[in-house]
Structure 1
Amino acid sequence: MKLRWTSVAWSIAYLLLLLSLLTSLSIITIFFLIVPVVVLYSTLNLRQFIMHLVPIWLITMIVAIQLEGRLGIYVAVLGIFFMVPGIVMGRLYKKNASALRVIFTTGITTLVEMLLLLIFATVVYKFNLAVYVKDIVEFSVAPMRAMADINPDIADIFSPEFVRGLWNYTLQMIPFALIISSFTMVVITHAICRPILESMNYSVSKLRPAREWRLPRSLIWYYLLAVLLEYFVASNITGVLAAFVLNFMPLVHIAFTIQTIGFVFFMAHHRKWNSFLPFLLSLVVVLIPPLRIVGIIDLAFPLREYITRPKR
């Protein structure tokens, strides 16, 4: 009985999250959208899961269409699309897969879902991503251009060429934004679902301790190749290759930041520092991006082995 009422509560939470997509809160609530799906799929059998989800989807579609008309179908479709990564994560939890595999597999699934959703919006609703990005950029720059009209000294900064360049840059960075959004959603979901499921006596794998975080050493060579492309032949590359370099570099920088944080926790564990100190230093690493060079050195050289080597 307790489990049944818990499932009903999570079903209601999922319904509210779906309906929140009709409001301005959607920019926040979308990151929690697959949490109820994961909990329900992990705690119910397939028949029970379908019995909970079908009524939610029907109610969402009816309410959304009543409030938004034809556009309301998009919200209902969004619920179905993001049900898939929730099912993938729940299935991996049932298989007792490692946390890293859960995050990676579900992240890739979410990314594919976002791309399919973009295609759906383009085909069905004639959504034009380039025009949408241009409108967002112009809306964001409008207050600064108004200031430029008052202060001629900064008028050249916010010229039409600047706005066009910013629009083009933003459009090229869409893949990076989709990747970060996908994995952020999955990491948030795992961080919420793991303690919830464990409190319900379901076993869920944890991520390795931060002190054990280490990336593949081959990433260094990809990074060097990207640096060469960016600094030596950037003026000669265009199209897909230019977009690849533009999106790959910030992703690698994030990876090296994670490696640096792992090294900080490793040092804290090895030196037996106060448990609060590595969290504080990790925040410093995030706020001061050049510190990621520590992660590059840690990845390129056996730095941890040198530190732990017995002194003669």
Structure 2
Amino acid sequence: MNRLKLRWTSIAWSAAYLLLLLSLITSLRVIGMLFLIVPIVVLYSTLTLRQFIMHMIPVWLFALIFAGQAGLFLPLLGLFFMIPGIVMGRMYKKFTPALRIIFAGGLTALVELLVLLLIATAVFHFSLGQYVRDVIEIAITPLRAMADVNNDLSDVLTPEYIIGLSNYTLTLIPSGLIIASFTMAIITHAISRPLLESMGYSVPRLKPARDWRLPRSLIWYYLIAVFLEIIARANITGVLAAIVLNFMPLVHLAFTIQTIGFVFFWANHRKWGSFLPFVLSIVVVLIPPLRIIGILDLAFPLREYITRPKR
């Protein structure tokens, strides 16, 4: 890519980064957060460190001007999302395997989230528990209005139920942070890789979906977790219950990924093309019980059975 074209492309990506940053003070903040790392990765992967800094300074200045009541909120968020973007961009430059890039980006984002939560709690006296309760109160406000004409619903929405739901949600925060962090890293890689390749840069790819296979030892971890979950349901609280409650969503997600890998493997063996397994993968995500296919794929040699020559 010639210098002039690279220069204008970099300016365009800086503008996109600014727009995504400004979206954080609008109702589109969730979408903005999911894609905010992408411009950073593209810019850091295609520019020198000095050029990258020169592009970031105007973005932060404009964000500070347009922030209004948000003040330093936007530049600080920009710095927050810049760090995992730099980590991933640096690894792209070194042509590090894609899975390691995603893991490093997700882990960096997770550590940052934990640090921000610690700072907010220690310095600004932020209460995560109170915040969760406030969010739940806002969410159930429409249900309270319906409860006025539905006695069965009013019997459910008791103060004890609200407290229990708040505590349960608070317990699931760790797994929620993990899933959110790695989701951002996966989305960033999925978008950045083809963009960088279209710009003429060589970028590592993930293995084809048909080759996705998790360690078989995950089955034993799952069985242990199920056993502990049974124990935890017997009114056992504290650290054990929290570990089980947070581990199960993660292992279920892992089995869903394994199921998707099996779907693509089967489709490739049947020569179905790529559209049908893509649709089936969406079905797997929308119907969680289908993850049992991934469990069976790990526990038994299903793929070897499918590819075994028939006599």
TM-score (norm. length: structure 2): 0.94
Q: Amino acid of the residue matched to residue 31 of structure 1?
A: L
Shift of residue 76 of structure 1?
A: 1.7
Identity, % of aligned pairs?
69
CA contact (8 A) 1:81 1:117 kept: no
1:144, 1:202 → 2: CA distance?
A: 52
Aligned-partner Cα distance in 2 for 1:233–1:183: 27
Instruction: Determine the structure 2 residue equivalent to 1:266.
Output: 265
Matches within 5 A, 1:126-165: 126-165=125-164
Is 2:271 the counterpart of 1:305?
Answer: no
The match for 1:43 among 41, 46, 68 is 46
User: How far off its partner does 1:15 sit?
Assistant: 1.6
Distance 1:283 1:27 in 2: 21
Letter in structure 1 aligned against 2:42: V
Aligned to 1:22: 25
Q: Distance in 1 between matches of 2:152 and 2:199?
A: 63
**1:238-263, Cα deviation, whole Å (9 max, x unpaired):** 22221111011011111101111111
Could you tell me which runs of 5 or more consecutive residues in structure 2 were left unpaired when the two chains were aligned. Answer: none
Deviation of 1:156 (Å):
1.2
Distance of 2:53 and 2:274 partners within structure 1:
45
- Helix, strand or coil at the partner of 2:126: coil
Q: CA-to-partner distance for each residue in 1:38-71, whole Å, 9 max, x for gaps?
A: 011000011111111123223323432xx11xx5
The equivalent of 1:123 in structure 2 is: 122
Q: CA RMSD in A?
A: 1.5
Shift of 1:274: 4.5
Over residues 12-35 of structure 1, what are the superposed CA-to-partner deviations in whole Å (9 max), with x where a residue is unaligned?
211222222122221211111111
| Counterpart position of 2:76 | 77
Check whether the contact 1:82–1:113 (CA below 8 A) recurs between aligned residues.
Answer: no
Establish whether residue 53 from structure 1 lines up as the match of residue 28 from structure 2: no
The answer on whether the counterparts of 2:232 and 2:241 sit within 8 Å (CA) in structure 1 is: no
**Residue 212 (structure 2) aligns with:** 213
Matched to 1:110, the amino acid is: A
Closer/same/farther in 2, CA of residues 265 and 258 from structure 1, 3 Å limit: same
Aligned amino acid, residue 164 of structure 2: G
Measure the CA separation in 2 of the matches of 1:287 and 1:19. 32
**Number of positions where the alignment pairs a residue of Structure 1 with one of Structure 2:** 308
1:197-246 C-alpha deviation (Å, 9 max, x unpaired): 11111011111111100001111111111000001343253222211110
Secondary structure of the structure 2 residue equivalent to 1:150: coil
- Give, in whole Å, the separation in 1 of the partners of 2:79 and 2:274: 43
Q: Secondary structure at the match of 1:96?
A: coil
Q: Give the 5 Å matches for 1:229-248.
A: 229-248=228-247
1:188 corresponds in structure 2 to 187
Question: 1:141, 1:163 within 8 Å by CA — same for their partners in 2?
Answer: no
**Matches of 2:203 and 2:273 in 1, distance apart?**
28
Q: CA deviation at 1:99?
A: 1.3
TM-score (norm 1): 0.94
Amino acid in structure 2 at the alignment position of 1:140: A
The equivalent residue for 1:11 is 14
Are 2:232 and 2:240, in contact at CA under 8 Å, matched by a contact in 1? Answer: no
Consecutive unaligned residues of structure 1, counting only runs of 5 or more, are none
